Amino acid sequence: MLLREIKNIYELELKELYPITEIQSFFYLAIDFYLKLPRFVLATEPNLTITKEEEQPLFNALSKLKLQEPIQYILGTANFMDLDFVVDSNVLIPRPETEELVYWILEDVKKRSNQQIRILDIGTGSGCIAISLAKNLPQAKVYAIDVSTGALQIAKKNATNNSVNIDFIKEDILQIKSIAVDFDIIVSNPPYVRELEKMEMAENVKKHEPDLALYVPDNKALMFYEAIGVFAKENLEEDGFLYFEINQYLGKEMKVLLEENNFSEIELRKDMFGNDRMLKGVKSIK
């Protein structure tokens, strides 16, 4: 079959579910992953024909896309900070807004000396934050916590694939009291979507990404941030940094929470979409 005919089938069968630009992105990701063909191949070879054997994975992917399974889970890989990460339904798909949080941390660390620093990523999931920091900060010793055994298995695989050493710890931040390490930086992208906000989520997220990593009760929207704030008071060095990815609707409440936990120099930043998404605080000297 002509490859352009398969592209037309993708557009026809998915047009009720996704914007055309997203459908085309799915197609190009699929041909790159399964056939090692660049996205511009149809411009240079409009009559390119592929074999039945080569067609099969493209149509298998299309079937899953029609069920609104994320393309990253179908291919089993996602890109973050120019690194490749294995992903499956045990972990959230890394997002560009979270890249902005990592860039903020890197920007701040580069203003400091090159002495070794200790970083803790709480709720590491795929390990994208911890691994990206370790890759870009060879002087850092990076630790990562998650409550999910499945997520930690994926994160460990990603650390190996990206040639970094991370100390992974299976712990529930809602119960942990202390770790025998004082950290210079603590970062977390914990669950923060309230049940009342589920209706705003895309169907492919609601159906396929892990609830454990996404949702919090409406009446306990800041439960993870509260636990991390208490933990950071005991386990963060004086003048250490605490970074959060946050619910865009709760920026003011998050600033108050950090103030109550004795953090200063609190800064709230917007993401690329103009939403309050990132927060930083510095542990005050008592």
Q: What residue numbers does the annotated binding site cover?
A: 123-127, 146, 189-192
Helix (H) or strand (E) holding 14: helix 3-14
DSSP codes joined into one string, 61-123 = HHHHHHTT--HHHHHTEEEETTEEEE--TTSPPP-HHHHHHHHHHHHHHTTS-SS-EEEEEES
Q: Using CA atoms in the order 201, 206, 210, 215, what is the torsion angle rounded to 10 degrees?
A: 50
What residue has token string 């390119």?
48
Q: What residue numbers does the annotated binding site for substrate cover?
A: 189-192
Closest alpha carbon to 162 in 172, 170, 154? 154
93 exposure class (CB count in 10 Å sphere: 0-12, 13-18, 19+):
buried
Helix (H) or strand (E) holding 157: helix 149-161
User: Would you state the structure tokens that stand for residue 74, as one six-digit string?
Assistant: 């179908």
Contact in structure between 146 and 129 (CB atoms under 8 Å) = no
> What does the alpha-carbon distance between residue 135 and residue 165 come to, in Å, rounded to a whole number?
9
Q: Report the sign of the C-alpha dihedral through residues 100, 101, 102, 108, in that order.
A: positive
Q: What residue numbers does the annotated binding site for S-adenosyl-L-methionine cover?
A: 123-127, 146, 189
